Structure 1
Amino acid sequence: MSSSLSKGVGKVEVSLRWDPSDLGEPAHDLDLVAATYEDAAPGSAPAWAVHFDSRSPDGTITLTRDSRTGQGFGADEVMTLEFERLAPTYRRVVVGVVIQQRPGRRTFGDIRNVSARVAEGYTELGTTDFAGVADCTAAVVWEFHRDEAGSWHLSGGLRGLDADPESFLGLMGG
């Protein structure tokens, strides 16, 4: 997938939603995670990451809504990424979702109606329902790359991983 916007992507909102667990069952807690990379090549270590009700050191990536249960109206987690303000040293941003693993192991297939959306203003750039990674506990959802002219573009697709929140940060850029 690639952005069709000729000037590249400027500011996007990534939203994640899921249904709450059944009454009496432990809550499902999914987390949006974004990591920035100075190197465009897969496998490099992230410069920094945003997750769990935080924001980037420069304020360009902010998690504005963080749910621990999936309850409520609309999106359960929302992250804003302002690419036009991101320092030129960053070449790649990876956005993923990881499931908190307490108590027991849970996969995307164990949680009803998980979906993610990325939009720039009113223009939807992509959606996913996680069906292709139902047996996974974490997934890279989208990648954004800066081209030689300095414009950001959406690329890549859903890639499932078997990782807990701690190990996901080290694996998501691969």
Structure 2
Amino acid sequence: MGTVVGGLDKVEVRLKWDPSPLGESPRHLDIVAATYAADDPFGEPVYLVHYDSRSPDGTINVSRHSQTGQGFGFVEEMSLEFDRLSSAYARVVVGVVIHQEPDARTFADMSNAGTLIVKGYEELLTDDFSGVAHAAATTLAQFTRDDSGHE
């Protein structure tokens, strides 16, 4: 959906969706980040971060997690601290996936779903997934370092 560059120190990726109607199985979305090595920025990710993990150095982690969408506003949040991320990493790709068990779903099946990426109080990206309505996963943003090492 977007590429963000330009001196980012810390960003937060937020996700929201409405819970399933009574009688339906829970709707469950997750934020996922993949970190790529500076010497192979388009190869295999060095590590993934999701609801049940964090980066080895603690610079990327999920601080809020929901399995149902219940709550007010954004119910899932991932923080990425680029100012602390090792220079051994040149690219971080952040996406969202919809759990497919017990029922296969797409973004069209979600109500009031949306994402917000912020740096402090500055909104970097907002989206309601309408552009990927028939998908079950999407890339939200990729963060890359330039030759000087800035994000």
Task: Quickly name the TM-score band, shorter chain normalised.
Answer: over 0.9
Gaps of 5+ in 2: none
TM-score normalised by length of structure 2: 0.93
Identity %: 53
Whose relative contact order is higher, 1 or 2, with alpha carbons under 8 Å and at least 6 apart?
Answer: 2
TM-score normalised by length of structure 1: 0.81
Structure 2 partner of 1:117 = 116
Q: Deviations over 1:128-151 (max 9, x none)?
A: 111111111111110000000010
- Confirm whether residue 33 of structure 1 aligns to residue 32 of structure 2: yes
SS in 2 for 1:81: strand
**Structure 2 Cα separation of the partners of residues 134 and 40 of structure 1:** 29
Deviation at residue 4 of structure 1 after TM alignment? 7.0
- Confirm whether residue 69 of structure 1 aligns to residue 68 of structure 2: yes
Q: Deviations over 1:144-165 (max 9, x none)?
A: 000000100xxxxxxxxxxxxx
Q: Deviations over 1:83-110 (max 9, x none)?
A: 0100101010000000111112100000
Q: What is the root-mean-square deviation in Å for CA atoms of aligned residues?
A: 1.3
**Structure 2 Cα separation of the partners of residues 47 and 90 of structure 1:** 9
Structure 2 partner of 1:93 = 92
Does structure 1 conserve the Cα–Cα contact (< 8 Å) formed by 2:3 and 2:143?
no
Matches within 5 A, 1:1-174: 1=2, 3=4, 5=6, 8-38=7-37, 39-41=40-42, 44-152=43-151
Does structure 2 conserve the Cα–Cα contact (< 8 Å) formed by 1:14 and 1:79?
yes
Does structure 2 conserve the Cα–Cα contact (< 8 Å) formed by 1:30 and 1:99?
yes
The residue type paired with residue 71 of structure 1 is Q
CA spacing shift, 1:40–1:50, aligned 2, 3 Å: same
Q: Deviations over 1:5-50 (max 9, x none)?
A: 5xx1110010000011101111100000011001233xx1100011
Does structure 2 conserve the Cα–Cα contact (< 8 Å) formed by 1:53 and 1:66?
no
Does structure 1 conserve the Cα–Cα contact (< 8 Å) formed by 2:4 and 2:141?
no
Structure 1 stretches (4+) deviating beyond 6 angstroms?
none
The residue type paired with residue 41 of structure 2 is A
SS in 2 for 1:33: strand
Does structure 2 conserve the Cα–Cα contact (< 8 Å) formed by 1:12 and 1:81?
yes
Greater helix fraction, Structure 1 or Structure 2 = 1
CA spacing shift, 1:101–1:64, aligned 2, 3 Å: same
Number of residue pairs matched by the alignment: 148
